[in-house]
């Protein structure tokens, strides 16, 4: 079933990011610490950080239009079987020890029946685990910032030290 949480999750991992999965497969095929692994980690990290701007530049439309296209792509992904060996990013849950109550994308496959399943054979090395932990912390901080808007408490904006003014603690 397609829920708001599922669609929100998809929006975090736009269509442009899916094109980088080929790079991930190359990394997995060659193994950790290979030349393609090092190159891939650097490239993937850069592109994931800049995905919003990349989409706007590529498609020449606002983020709202890109969001609409991503929603359509998400629905097509759920109603079309995923090709063997391929995957897409989706998920709402806590499959790898991620904090509860946040939407965190994981690699998935669809059988084309409006449902999806988590890919269980993904290799998570130390570098990837660190990146996942950092992203999880960022999402939890964002959630705290808007807690007053969602009825979950008082919003708190915990600024990273590098953005604080001198003398702020």
Q: What is the pLDDT of residue 97?
A: 78
Residue for token digits 């603690």?
Answer: 169
pLDDT of residue 7: 39
- Give the residue among 66, 65, 83, 60 at the shortest CA–CA distance from 16: 66
Local confidence pLDDT in tens for the 169 residues of the chain = 444 443 344 444 433 444 444 445 444 455 555 544 455 555 555 655 666 666 667 666 666 666 777 778 878 888 889 988 888 877 666 667 788 777 777 788 888 887 788 887 777 788 888 888 888 888 888 888 877 777 777 766 665 655 555 665 5
Domains and CATH numbers, the chain: 17-21+40-149 (3.90.110.10)
Sheet with strand 106-110: strands edge to edge: 88-90, 106-110, 116-118
DSSP the chain: ---HHHHHHHHHS-HHHHTTHHHHHHHHHH-TTSHHHHHHHHHHHHHHHTHHHHHHHHH-S-HHHHHHHHHHHHHHHHHSPPPTT--EEE--S-TTSPPTTS---EEEEE-SSS-EEE-------HHHHHHHHHHHHHHHHHHHHTHHHHTSS-------GGGSPTT--
Q: What is the pLDDT of residue 81?
A: 92
What is this structure's pTM? 0.50
């Amino acid at each position: 079933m397609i829920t708001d949480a599922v669609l929100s999750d998809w929006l975090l991992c736009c269509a442009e990011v899916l094109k980088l999965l080929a790079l991930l497969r190359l990394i997995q095929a060659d193994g950790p610490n290979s030349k393609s692994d090092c190159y891939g980690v650097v490239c993937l990290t850069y592109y994931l950080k800049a995905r919003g701007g990349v989409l706007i530049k590529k498609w020449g439309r606002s983020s709202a239009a890109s969001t609409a296209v991503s929603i359509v792509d998400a629905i097509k992904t759920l109603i079309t079987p995923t090709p063997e060996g391929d995957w897409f990013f989706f998920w709402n849950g806590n499959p790898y020890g991620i904090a509860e109550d946040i939407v965190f994308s994981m690699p998935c496959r669809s059988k084309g029946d409006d449902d999806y399943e988590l890919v269980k054979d993904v290799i998570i090395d130390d570098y990837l685990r660190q990146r996942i932990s950092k992203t999880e912390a960022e999402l939890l901080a964002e959630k705290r910032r808007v807690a007053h808007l969602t009825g979950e408490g008082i919003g708190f904006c915990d600024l990273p030290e590098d953005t604080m003014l001198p003398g702020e603690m």
